[in-house]
Chains A and B, each alone.
Chain A
Amino acid sequence: MLLMGVGIMVLAMGAQGAYLLSELRRIHNEELVNKARVVLETISVPLISSIATHEIERLDRTVGDLQERLREIADLTTVMVLDTEGHIVALSDKERYGTIPEDPLVAQGIAARGFFHAYPVRNQVRHLFVSQPLESRVNSLPGLRWGTVVAELDLQHQDHKRAILVREGIVAVVLAGLLTAGVIFLVVRRQFLRPILRLTRAAQAFQNGDWTARAGVRGRGELATLGATFDDMAENLVAHTDNLQQLVHQRTAELATRNEELQVLMTQIEQANHRLADMVRTDPLTGLFNRRHLEESLAHHCALALRSGAPLSFAMLDVDFFKNYNDTKGHPAGDEVLRILAAILQRRLRKTDIPCRYGGEEFALLLPDTAGDKALLVAEHLRKLIASTSFPFGNIQPGGALTVSIGVSTLAGGDKAPEQLVREADEALYQAKGAGRNRVILHQDAA
């Protein structure tokens, strides 16, 4: 683009040079004509006077003066003075006096009412033909025509000089044009192209992630301002991004802290929930499941046993003469007995069995996948173990030891509601109580 611009500029300068040379040529020609015109007009006054007064010698002298003055302009070919009919009345060649020149240009000069000039080419050499009427007149009114003075100048030397001048001019114009074009190229490159390239590269690098890229355009002008603005913008962008990153890091750290705190809180909540759940289904005195959990588990296991056909047994355990113990040793001692019993139950039962505190001194045992006979054995084993255990102040009990009565019910392949299973175990427990306590009774349906 730049080279094309320089090319156009050189062409324009060439055209301008051609125009200037053409003007130079025109001015040169006009100058020649004007010089000749001034000489002829000046000399026409004494020529007219000489003709009017018919002083031929003075006329010849004046023509001699005219020749000298014209030679100062260019090489002189001819000077002659013609009368109104075109006869030669004064000429360097006296033999031609009185004759009429055959040159048509002379006829044109005679016919002209004012100064006349032409550029005839004779023997391939350009000439300047000039003529001036010798006339006495007032303003533009037709006056007295005394004759015509004509002259012809050989322009060979003038044209040669001018050709040299033109040639030198062309060389000067070309050199000046090239120099100017070069200077313009350098200036444009320095002032415009280089800053634009720097800007482009910086912008591309910046776009590709090089945040350190800067245009670095120096100087004055719009491009320098643009470059400085770009650099400022890049600085601001980098600073802004750094600030953003710092802010993100800070916010992330704060969020992590909050997350950790939340995690701890959630753990605490979960633990609290667990504790709450445990509290909901656990008996606070003995640490066994409470009656609520028993009812949920009993319903679940009843349904499970009904679908799978597996046996399920249930036992109700009651401390014999516990009222007596409480009344005698107080409730704290009674509570301690209950905790010991609970520990025995937890320790001696299977992991899959579910011991619960049913209420007061009553305990319930849910024995999944356990038929009636097996349940009876488990209950008997527990009764014996409790009876043989040394409880604090157990000796105050009737019989000298703390005992328990156990009623057992079972569900074996039949459809039985959980309430019925509990009621049958409770009936069996009453039977055990009625039979003298410290014994295990299996409900008759189970037997």
Chain B
Amino acid sequence: LFLALCCLGPGCDPQPVHGISEEPVAASPLFPRSCKFAETAPQEIGVAVTTLIGGNEKEQYKRVLLYLSDQLKIPFRLLTFESMDEIIAAMESGIVHLASLSPLAYVRARDRIPCMPLLLTQVSSGTTHYVSYLMVRNQDGPRILEECRGKKLALVSQYSTSGYLLPMDFFLRKGISPDTLFSQVIFTNDHVTSLRMLEKGTVDVVATYSEVVGPARASGVDTSAFRVLAITGRTPYDALVSTDRIPRDLALRITDALAGLNTSTPEGRKILTGSLDLNGWVRTSPEIYRPLAETWGRLLRSGVQQP
């Protein structure tokens, strides 16, 4: 009782207690031991992006490459390809040394290119992950999934994570076959194009992702006319990978340089600001793409997707 009464007095108030939630610092990118990396740097570092991005975005990338050239004193050249498949092929052929792959493209490329160190994960809107949606029009769009029967679905491409993999897995988990639920399923190759088609009424449901709103709005699409029908999944942003055609130390220097570039500083904002929502990169781990690889495997086993 005495002890209990003591607790009423100010003397029993706890001394200021400090609590810090610390997490351990992790290691550098993985370089497989079985891989033999080039010992000398190439004359020029080829950096691959898809042609799906617009001119503004290309300028953003070019500023980044200029930054890297200044930092590392090595010329970097921007190479554009029609699709992720072409980029992967170019990496295999040695033309491309550095590439920004969509999450699904990274997962699929790992099977084809074993010596592909994962350097960084892109940061957009301040985060390393984004959410995949099924988006519909506010006015006349279906309100529940069952109302999608007979509607038209727009996917992006078979290398798109939010525009293909996650929505297909979502339907698979729901026991729904898109071919029977929807009257038509089309590929648009581009998220902004998908939203534009949704705005025009060409399609009724669009498989896209959370951060598409900015670029779409910049392209003149009225995104306020849309709403989310369902969340199909969550995935990390694009993976920045290198190949065994560049030395390890150069890959590490590129990693360090890009990890230090972000929009928190005026200099970083000057380089990165543009229609492409790019805030920088963070050091990463293949582990964060593992759920996506499992999803891809599930989809393959279901027979929906041929390898």
Contact = CB atoms under 8 A, between A and B. Distances in A.
For this complex, into which size category does the number of interface residues on chain B fall? 35 or more
A49 B282 CA distance: 15
Interface of B: 1-8, 13-27, 121, 123, 125-128, 236, 259, 262-264, 269, 273, 277, 279-285, 287-288
A140 B24 CA distance: 6
Give the interface SS of chain B, mostly helix, strand, loop or mixed: loop
Contacts of A18: 1-4, 6-7
Contact of B263 (A52, A113, A159): A52
A393 interface: no
- What are the nearest 6 A-B pairs in CB distance? A114-B21, A48-B126, A52-B126, A18-B3, A14-B1, A52-B279
A21 interface: yes
A53 B126 contact: yes
For this complex, into which size category does the number of interface residues on chain A fall? 35 or more
Given A14-B1, A14-B3, A170-B5, A52 B262 contact: yes
25 contacts: A14-B1, A15-B3, A18-B3, A18-B4, A25-B14, A49-B127, A52-B123, A52-B279, A54-B269, A113-B20, A114-B23, A116-B18, A118-B18, A119-B15, A121-B16, A134-B126, A138-B283, A138-B284, A138-B285, A139-B26, A140-B26, A141-B283, A142-B283, A144-B259, A173-B4
A101 interface: no
Nearest to A19: B3
A51 B264 contact: yes
Contact of A53 (B8, B17, B277): B277
Given A50-B126, A54-B269, 9 more contacts: A10-B1, A14-B2, A108-B20, A114-B23, A115-B20, A138-B288, A139-B287, A141-B26, A174-B1
Given A29-B14, A143-B128, A137 B8 contact: no
A129 B20 CA distance: 12
Given A126-B13, A136-B126, A139-B285, A114 B20 contact: yes
Contacts, number: 153
Nearest to A132: B21
A17 interface: yes
B283 A118 contact: no
A300 to B, nearest CB: 111
Contact of A118 (B13, B19, B236): B19
A357 interface: no
Contacts of B16: 118-121
A115 B13 CA distance: 23
B275 to A, nearest CB: 12
A17 B279 contact: no
Given A48-B126, A52-B123, A144 B285 contact: no
A121 B14 CA distance: 10
B132 to A, nearest CB: 17
A166 interface: yes
A146 interface: yes
A117 interface: yes
Given A143-B282, A146-B264, A115 B2 contact: no
B20 A144 contact: no
B19 A139 contact: no
Best-surrounded residue of B20, B285, B288 (most CB of chain A within 10 A)? B20
